[in-house]
Amino acid sequence: MVETLLPSRFQSHLQKLDPKRRLASHKTLLLASLWIAAFASLFLWQRTSYIGGYVVGPVVGARFTVFGRVRPLQPVPRLRPVVFDLKDFGGVGDGVAVDTEAFERAVVEISKLGGSSGGGQLNVPPGRWLTAPFNLTSHMTLFLAEDAEILGVEDEKFWPLMPPLPSYGYGRERPGPRYGSLIHGQNLKDVVITGHNGTINGQGQSWWKKHQRRLLNNTRGPLVQIMWSSDIVIANVTLRDSPFWTLHPYDCKNVTIRNVTILAPVTGAPNTDGIDPDSCEDMVIEDCYISTGDDAIAIKSGWDQFGIAYGRPSTNILIRNLIVRSLFVLTSLSFNIAGVSIGSEMSGGISNVTIENLLIWNSRRGVRIKTAQGRGGYIKNITYKNVTLDNVRVGIVIKTDYNEHADDNYDRKAYPTLSGFSFTGIHGQGVRVPVRIHGSEQIPVRNVTFRDMSVGLTYKKKHIFQCSFVKGRVVGSIFPRPCENFDVYDEEGRLVKPAAESNVPDIDYDI
């Protein structure tokens, strides 16, 4: 089965639910149908899929046909006052010649234009453009035409080394410097990466193998990394086979990611997160399809004492209208992977995040919040609305013992605070454990609210909700039944059943 296609059972699984719950779930079925229709053209557009972790399908340059007739290439729009073509700078685009100098010369020309003139556009025409890492500049649009594919060189000696991120202190995998990204930018303003669904391909297979064999002395580089920048738009492109995290906006403001497809094998491609907003503010991620070997999305804000000192939170983030999957096969890594994660690197704080209209399928974890002693910081005001889980082992996870640290010098008394989590409209089938929330005496989980939840289970167990050191409430009826730690209110806000005795302090709720 082609992994990037939704399972056919999803379209009919709600019909199999208890008839009393069908009416409550019809919105989920309708939304799923709309998603399937909307993304069907995107799947056809890809023309390349993964089967069992291997790439199959025609190479870039193959023509897309409709009923046997070749469809002509789309004309490239003019989005900036000045437009350049990569071939004008000596680009070859045959997948063999290295076109790094062509990219660099083009970026230099655009940098000369300045913002007052409206900047410049670099068109990457159809072809296979092999390159080492290169930098973008401000007031620039990188436009990938249909059938254009930027390929990262596989030899790491062509990838520059950079200092560790200041909020991490170390490379995420190895101490010391880290590899830069294939497409990189720092201290930029007004940058757009877009196109007619052209592809940026990190050719990460050799990186994954070397990492697994411990042949790399430095942390692998992302596919696209934009740092200390603002007014960033990434839309209508495909990102695939990153050596490490795929798209990593770091300490950026006003970022929009829309209509992006992100692909990597779901096995054998370690740490290929889809999108990792890191100490970012005012960000929208919408209308994307993500299938990778790690978290589809992971919101971060720094690691232990380094993140506390850097002090830049991730805040005001909207994630909506996504179809995602992550690693499902049981491995030593799969317990730490989810469709959408918050943390565990959250020492600068994470707040005001809304995640809505989300379909997670064939994944070990649905949505997950993870932190630990030594992180410090906070996670608060997180809202989930209209989340559908299909064949997900554990639906909702909040974990406070994710004990992976930059070094042994973290502050043992730096306890993070967790409060204000709202889950509304959580539906689906094939879920083994719908909710697992484990706080601790030092890191209790406060103010958790569930409304309108109905999840079909594959595993019957006496305590379906698994909870400790948590205080919360349920509004209306939900299935399966919640922990005893939760107050139960009716739809009018009247307390129906108080929670059992808890060692988490009482909280005043705004009903």
Of the candidates 99, 190, 287, 294, the residue annotated as catalytic is: 294
Torsion of CA 455, 289, 399, 416, to 10 degrees: -130
- Taking residue 208's Cβ as centre, other Cβ atoms within 10 Å add up to 22
- Could you list the beta-strand ranges (E) of 242-377: 247-250, 253-258, 261-263, 281-291, 297-299, 314-325, 340-342, 350-370
* Residue 85 annotated to the active site: no
Asked if 474 and 482 touch (Cβ cutoff 8 Å), the reply is: yes
Q: What is the 3-class SS of 207-222, one letter each residue?
A: HHHHHHCCCCCCECCC
d(CA 48, CA 6): 15
Q: Which residues pair with 98 in a beta bridge?
A: 130
Looking up tokens 């003139």, which residue turns up?
Answer: 117
End-to-end CA distance of the chain: 46
Q: Which residues contact 15 (CB under 8 A, 6 or more apart)?
A: 22
Q: Which amino acid is at 437?
A: I
d(CA 137, CA 105): 12
d(CA 266, CA 492): 44
Here the tokens at position 362 are 């064939």
d(CA 296, CA 244): 13
Q: How far is CA 24 from CA 28, 205, 395, in A?
A: 8, 44, 19
Active site amino acids: 294
